[in-house]
Amino acid sequence: MPAAVETAVRERGRAITAQAFGLLSTNLVQALAAGGITNALPYCSEKAYPLTALVAATNDVTIRRVTHRPRNPTNAATGIEWDLLRKYQLALGRGETLAPTVRAGTNGQVTFYSPIVITNPLCLQCHGVPGTDLAPSTTALLRQLYPQDEATGFRLGDLRGLWRVDFARLP
Ligand code: HEC
């Protein structure tokens, strides 16, 4: 892939994931303020997709959040996503700063992957350690909404997953 293309993908990928993350965070904080965790939890599951889909449509890309420890099974990492998560996990363990990855796919498609590390204590209210970070009512609600939930037990600084942005047309 030409260096200029890779640089453009990197810049646009960063901007797009920042936009999606900002939109999700703002809405999450509002939902929490309006009705606490019991309001925000179902909200997260219903609004996360339309919000990221909106950012994807305005930027002419597809956006996904994938993870090695999914709450929603549809967000489970596969193939290269797993390899990258393992690579990032090892780098984190060595105390390195994580940078996004750009890979060329088939049909001239290019994909931007950006690690999601938990840096905000807010996240722990729903992804932290049950019994300490998670209120018993949150644990109960999670069990009901996501019987196969693997997305608790995280601590600050942990790798939570990846943003994946697919560019069908090169920027
Ligand atoms: C109010 C509870 C709540 C808070 C706070 C919260 N999340 Fe989540 N998170 C959820 C729910 C519910 C899902 C599942 C959404 C779905 O069904 O797709 C989820 C899914 C995710 C996913 C997609 C992968 C998966 O496991 O399905 C990532 C990544 C993620 N959250 C990261 C974060 C980060 C980072 C923060 C802090 C900025 C955060 N979350 C804060 C409830 C929360």
Q: What is the pLDDT of residues 49-105, one digit of tens each?
A: 888 999 999 999 999 999 999 999 999 999 999 999 999 999 999 999 999 999 997
> What span, in angstroms and rounded, lies between the C-alpha atoms of 50 and 142?
21
CA–CA distance, 105 with 117 (Å, rounded to integer): 25
Residue 44 has pLDDT above 80, yes or no: no
Q: Does residue 128's CB lie within 6 angstroms of at least one atom of ligand 1?
A: no
Residue 65 CB–ligand 1 contact under 6 Å? yes
Task: Determine the average pLDDT of the residues in 132-157.
Answer: 95
**Phi/psi of residue 99, nearest 5 degrees:** -115, 150
Judging by beta carbons within 10 Å of its beta carbon (0-12, 13-18, 19+), is residue 143 exposed, middle or buried?
exposed
Q: What angle do CA 151, 141, 127 make, to 5 degrees?
A: 25
How remote is the CA of residue 44 from the centroid of ligand 1, in Å? 7
Calpha distance 24→38 (Å, rounded):
17
Predicted pLDDT at 171: 67
What pLDDT does 45 receive?
74
Pocket-testing residue among 159, 160, 163, 164, ligand 1, by greatest number of atoms within 8 A of Cβ: 160
Looking from the CA of residue 72, the nearest atom of ligand 1 is 27
Instruction: Decide if pLDDT at 33 tops 80.
Output: yes
Mean pLDDT score, 18-25: 93
Looking at the chain, the whole-number percentage of residues with pLDDT higher than 90 is 82
Q: Is 125:133 a contact under the CB 8 Å cutoff?
A: yes
| Cα 158 to Cα 93: distance, rounded to the nearest angstrom | 10
With a cut of 70, say whether residue 22 has pLDDT above it.
yes
Do residues 118 and 158 touch, judged by C-beta distance below 8 A? yes
- For residue 30, give every residue at least 6 positions away whose Cβ sits within 8 Å of its Cβ, in sequence order, or none: none
Give the N- to C-terminal CA distance of the chain in Å, as an integer.
13
pLDDT at 107 over 90: no
Centre of ligand 1 from the C-alpha of residue 104, in Å:
28
Residue 106 has what pLDDT?
Answer: 74
